Amino acid sequence: MPEQQTTATVGHAAPEAEPTFLGLDPGGWVALAMLAVFAVLIWKKVPGAIGKALDDKIRLIRDQLAEAEALRKEAEALKAEYEKKAKSVDKDRKALLERAKHEADEIVAKAKVDAEALIERRTRMAEDRIAAEERAAIDQLRSTAAEAASRAAAKLIAERHDAATDSKLVDQAIRAIADR
């Protein structure tokens, strides 16, 4: 049986006593330290400071949200204004384009009229030059013909008339002048 006692002694060991200090075990000391930390935090007004910091942060976030909302409204107003301006510019562009087309049509029509007038004027000038050249050619031809006729007449007269005939013709011309 002695073996049984050994097993009982080994298997059922007596509980060991935990160390204590001033009657507190380690769990008590941890609880006491936590109470001390909380007491210092409350004494130094840390929860109030944390609350104030959180309130300040909340106020800052609210201010930023209000500013963001104001900026969004301003951006929407600007967008609406620019859309209105874009529509106005589109209308102006169409009117300007229409006016430019109308002016271009007028310029083309005026250019056609001016070109026709220029062609008519140049045609008249050419016809006048041709007529002047024809008159000059006719005058030169007449002058050349008169000169040739005058030479031919002088040659014929010189061949057919002698001094007696000339004297007779001169006498007739004098009588004719005297009778008048």
pLDDT single digits (tens) 13-25: 556 767 777 778 8
- All structural domains of the chain with their residue ranges: 33-157
- Nearby residues of 24 by Cβ (< 8 Å), 6 or more positions away: 32
Q: What is the pLDDT of residue 159?
A: 75
pLDDT tier for residue 77 given thresholds of 50, 70 and 90 = very high
Count the neighbouring beta carbons within 10 Å of the beta carbon of residue 28.
13
For 13, the 3-state DSSP assignment is coil
pLDDT tier for residue 178 given thresholds of 50, 70 and 90 = confident
Query: pTM to 2 decimals?
Result: 0.35
